[in-house]
Structure formats: C-alpha cells, structure tokens
A and B are shown apart, each in its own frame.
Chain A
Amino acid sequence: AQKITQTQPGMFVQEKEAVTLDCTYDTSDQSYGLFWYKQPSSGEMIFLIYQGSYDEQNATEGRYSLNFQKARKSANLVISASQLGDSAMYFCAMREGYNNNDMRFGAGTRLTVKP
C-alpha cells in the first residue's frame, strides 16, 4: 500500500505568491514523523521542515509551514512569498514509530516559480 501520496506531479506559482503542495499519508502507528525535502536540479535532498504526530501546533520554518491535519492524514507544505530559487522537486516523507528507521518518500511534486 502506498504510504505517502503526492497527487500533484507539477505545480506553477507566480513569484511572491504562496503555494500549497499536497501530501497525504497512511499509517496505523500513533507515533510518526513527517518530513518535507527539496531536491533542486543539482540532486541533493535538502531538509525543509518536520512535523511530529504528537505536535499540536503546525510546524513553521521561515517561509515554510506545514498544514498538519491529523484526522485527514494530510501534511501539506505551504511556501509563502515564492522565490525563483524555490523551483525544484519537493518530496514528502514519513517515518513511523520510535525505532523504525524506514523513511518512505512520496513521488514528489515539481514546483516551477514563474517571474
């Protein structure tokens, strides 16, 4: 079964506008972590933001925020004030349990920021 689903293969956003990248997940664990990574054309995966399943507040890191809706099992990434350098692939990932080390990634969303 697919653990992480990203339904948007590609997204476009105008520079300086906000964009939301969707992510839904599937788990029966009560304890899990959700991650977003950015992968520019250079290939390196860059960590953006983390949300724990027990965190009551949505995570924020600068221009990145995570819209965590636990009951709906969604963890959407919101990027505010988009910049040209935000153009990249974005991957949602999940890690279940405390000692489970397998991080599962979604298929990714390619974001293009237009000037």
Chain B
Amino acid sequence: GAVVSQHPSWVICKSGTSVKIECRSLDFQATTMFWYRQFPKQSLMLMATSNEGSKATYEQGVEKDKFLINHASLTLSTLTVTSAHPEDSSFYICSGLAGSGSYNEQFFGPGTRLTVL
C-alpha cells in the first residue's frame, strides 16, 4: 500500500509556543489529506480535511485559528498548533487519500505524539 510519513514522531513543547507537524505522502499524490487527533485510549476524531491549493475544511468544534493547516503541494500537508496548551497534548494522525471514486482509500501516517508542558 501507499506510504504516509509524519514528522516529528514526537515533540515536547512549552505552553504558549507553536508546533508544526508535517504529513507527507511518499509514493503517491494526495490531493486530499485528513488530520485526526486521538486522546489516550480513545478513538480518532477527524479535525479537518485538507485540500491541495485551497483552504482546509474544519469539523465542528475545531478552532481553525488554533490548528492551522497548509496543503501547499500534492505530497505535503502541515498542521501547526498555535499557542499550544497542555490540553492540546494528544496523538495527531494524518492520512492521505489515494485513488478515486469508490476505490479510493485513506493511508494513515504513524502519528505524532505532542506533549505540551
């Protein structure tokens, strides 16, 4: 299957700072990428849909000014957590959409563990 990478795999930052997480599709072009967050022992919650060359679409309750998403190329989407606070500590997972129509499939990255002190 297609491969998606994330960088960094883990990050620790101080409260009030901003953190950028990269999501790359390594062997396919992803016009659409998705960002999820997962709290400990919980399911994945979709945060936003990122489309190359356009603004991201955020799910209800997700602050777009806090979670900045940029999808500048067909292989790279970034999520920036601005002015991070301890409650933003979570596991962030991205996915890239490969294929088209009913045959498309999301391929997931390995995740980024964010800890805000």
A complexed with B: no
Interface residues of B (CB under 8 A from A): none
Chain A interface (Cβ within 8 Å of chain B)?
Answer: none
